[in-house]
Amino acid sequence: MLDSWRWYGDFDKISLSDIAQTGAQGIVTALHEIPYGEVWPQAAIAKHKRAIEDAGFVWSVVESLPIHERIKRGAGDLTPLFDNYRASMRNLAAEGVYTVCYNFMPLLDWTRTDLSEPVAGGGTCLRFSQQKMAAFEVHMLQRDGAEADYSPAILQQAEDWFKQSTPQDRDVLLRSIMAGLPGAFERFDVEGLRQALIPYHGIDRATLRANYKRFLEEIIPTAEALGMRFCVHPDDPPRDILGLPRIVSDAEDIAWILAAVDSPANGLTFCAGSLGANWANDLPKMAGQFAERIHFAHLRNVRKDQDGSFEEAAHLAGDTDMVALVHELLQEETRRRGAGRADYSIPFRPDHGHELLSDKTAGTHPGYPLIGRMRGQAELRGVIQALSH
List, by residue number, the catalytic residues: 233, 271, 298, 351-352, 368
Interface contacts to ligand DNO, rule CB under 6 A: 63-64, 101-103, 109-110, 180, 182, 233, 271, 298, 351-352, 367
Nearer to ligand DNO, 246 or 298 (CB): 298
Q: In the beta sheet, which residues pair with residue 311?
A: 127, 303
Work out how close the CB of 289 gets to ligand DNO at its nearest, in angstroms, rounded to a whole number: 21
Work out how close the CB of 174 gets to ligand DNO at its nearest, in angstroms, rounded to a whole number: 18
Work out how close the CB of 232 gets to ligand DNO at its nearest, in angstroms, rounded to a whole number: 8
Nearer to ligand DNO, 105 or 135 (CB): 105
Nearer to ligand DNO, 57 or 110 (CB): 110
Work out how close the CB of 166 gets to ligand DNO at its nearest, in angstroms, rounded to a whole number: 28
Nearer to ligand DNO, 135 or 326 (CB): 326
Work out how close the CB of 103 gets to ligand DNO at its nearest, in angstroms, rounded to a whole number: 4
Nearer to ligand DNO, 101 or 316 (CB): 101
